[in-house]
Chain A
Amino acid sequence: MVLVAPRPLLRSAPPGDAVADRGTGAEVLAQLRGDAADRPRFDPGLAGGLRAWLEDAAYDLVAARGEHAAPLLLGPRQLLGSHDELDGDDGGAGRLVGDGGAGGGRIVLSRLVHALLRQLVHTGVIGDPLADALDALRVSGSGAEVREIESLPAAARAALAGTLPLHARNLTELVPRFAPGWMPRTNDRVAIPLAGGRIILHGLFDLVVGLPQPRTASLCALGLSTSGPWAAARRSLHYLSLLETLRTGTPPFRLALLESASGRYGVEDVREEHLRALASHIAAWLAQAATVPTSTAQTAQTAHG
């Protein structure tokens, strides 16, 4: 292991670390803002250490798969088993309704609610939730998926139309109205190549705010979970923090997780142990995959979507 020695990175988590059952955008914003004078500085060697650790693990898998195997794309779905995230591949276009069962319905709901989050951040308002979300998907190159949703049986479509307003209402209450100066941006994709691009770790920040500053953690990331489980969604945010550390050398300093079905939210600081735990998990995943290269080849196709 090549990871640099741990250093105290942050003050302890703020009181808002605990999950709140309900909240308002103003409360979320206040917790994200915290004390502006107390932005943590990170060891400049941290990102290099984490990368070296992952590169070591990636090498074994590349050796097992062979030099000329197609790049292996790994997102939170493969590495963490989470299913709510868009996964950085435009939501897996082409398999929206998918299995037609609960899993397919969950993906549809997730896609629609994520579209509403973007609209809310960009305009501050949501009109008719289902119509708005479908309009957003239509211009996002997902016309085929829109047609799939529109051709759902009447009962399934009615259920969707009945569920979405609840998510939209909770989002409207929970999502802070960021001043443009916070530089809010949605669907910020991260893709980190390992082993010269033969393995790619990827993910998608639902919402990022703040201006990047060298060696100072200055970004806040907000994740949206439509169906939980809470712990898995939180772990996905830690995963994205790791990717951001590898991309820019510095992780976000604070994370917020919003659950649109219940209106719950939680805000926490990013800590070095989060990053180390995820790097350790991914390294173990890669090591395990090196022993069963056939299954990882199948995973790659799924991830490519």
Chain B
Amino acid sequence: MNALLAPVPAVDATSWRFTLEEAKSKLAGLAVRRAGAVRFRVTDHEVRTAFTADSAVDGRPNQPFAWTAFTARRSIGVAAVRLLLGGTARSPLEAVRYRMAESSRWVQEGSSSATKLDRWIHSLPPAGRAAVGAEAVTWATRLWCAVDWSSFPSAPVVGRDHWWDSPHSALLALRGRADVRSDIAHLVVLSGPRRGSVRAELALVTLVEALRLRGDDVPGRVVGWWPDSGHLARVEPEPAVLTLGTEAVELALGGAGTSLRPAA
């Protein structure tokens, strides 16, 4: 996947700085406007949902979150790929088995590392665990086989989501989800159909990175990848992408974002 290694095009520093300040200002306004409201986290899911407010996302009806083989596959899958990269496991199947056994061990030992997902996995009957594991193995194998891991100059970070907490309100936070991060690129594994919201979903990752960086640093490109089709969507770090990300947040928070609606 050369998109993860190719050099990022140069960005006009003045224009970038100006757009970033504008984005910060708009986000501050959004945070203040929501003062007193419940805590709101804007993730790729909220952006996608905001674009498809009147229909199901990914062809699935909007339902409250519940752990299933489908919703658990990424969490287990990225943990498995980390185990593969670290040399703890030699295949995705081994890695997923290891990770799921770890869940049970943590729960049985009362470890503070145990999450809700770990407790859910531990509660499943053997056939249910097998189904969850099988889904995660497929997810992890596709990612493991798609990336040339030896080509990164330094070890990439796998499956670490980045958060930006608004300095103006403890109620607003943005999440940038990426499955593989290198010094110059962030890979996001996508599912579902190609959709009008994808650039906005990826722009959110750029926005979060830009907000977290100090000084005049510019984040890397964001690459969306659909394993189902092999297609890639690249979002380079440009001022227009910051604007798109900010508008997507605004839209997700129920604000204007009107320029985005026709694209959905």
A interface vs B, CB < 8 Å?
71, 89, 115, 118-119, 121-123, 127, 131-133, 135-141, 180-181, 183-193, 197, 200, 202, 211-212, 247-248, 304
Contact = CB atoms under 8 A, between A and B. Distances in A.
B131 A139 contact: yes
Given A131-B127, A185-B92, A190-B229, A119 B132 contact: no
A140 B126 contact: no
Interface of B: 59, 66, 68-71, 90-94, 124-128, 130-135, 137-138, 141-142, 144-145, 193-194, 226, 228-231
Contacts of B228: 189-191, 202, 247
Contacts of B126: 123, 127, 132, 135
Contacts of B131: 115, 118-119, 135-137, 139-140
B229 A192 contact: yes
Contacts of B134: 118-119, 121-122, 185-187
Given A200-B193, A247-B229, A183 B93 contact: yes
B118 to A, nearest CB: 15
Instruction: Determine chain B's interface SS by DSSP, over half rule.
Output: helix
Nearest to A126: B127
Nearest to A190: B228
A121 B90 CA distance: 17
A208 B125 CA distance: 26
A267 B69 CA distance: 31
B130 A136 contact: yes
Contact of B127 (A136, A189, A193): A136
Contacts of A123: 126, 130, 133
A248 B230 contact: yes
B145 A211 contact: yes
Nearest to B230: A247
A212 B145 contact: yes
Contacts of B132: 139
A180 B91 contact: yes
Nearest to A131: B127
Contacts of B135: 140, 187
A177 B225 CA distance: 31
A247 B69 CA distance: 25
Contacts of A89: 59
A91 B145 CA distance: 26
Contacts of A131: 127
Given A189-B228, A190-B228, A183 B128 contact: no
Given A122-B134, A187-B134, A133 B127 contact: yes
Q: Which of A188, A191, A211 has the most CB of B within 10 A?
A: A191
Contact of B229 (A181, A183, A191): A191
A185 B138 contact: yes
A211 B148 CA distance: 12
Contacts of A127: 126-127
Nearest to A187: B138
A122 B130 contact: yes
28 contacts: A71-B193, A115-B131, A119-B134, A123-B126, A131-B127, A132-B126, A132-B127, A135-B125, A135-B127, A136-B131, A138-B128, A139-B68, A140-B70, A141-B71, A180-B90, A180-B91, A180-B93, A180-B94, A181-B90, A181-B91, A183-B145, A184-B93, A185-B138, A185-B142, A190-B228, A190-B229, A191-B193, A200-B193
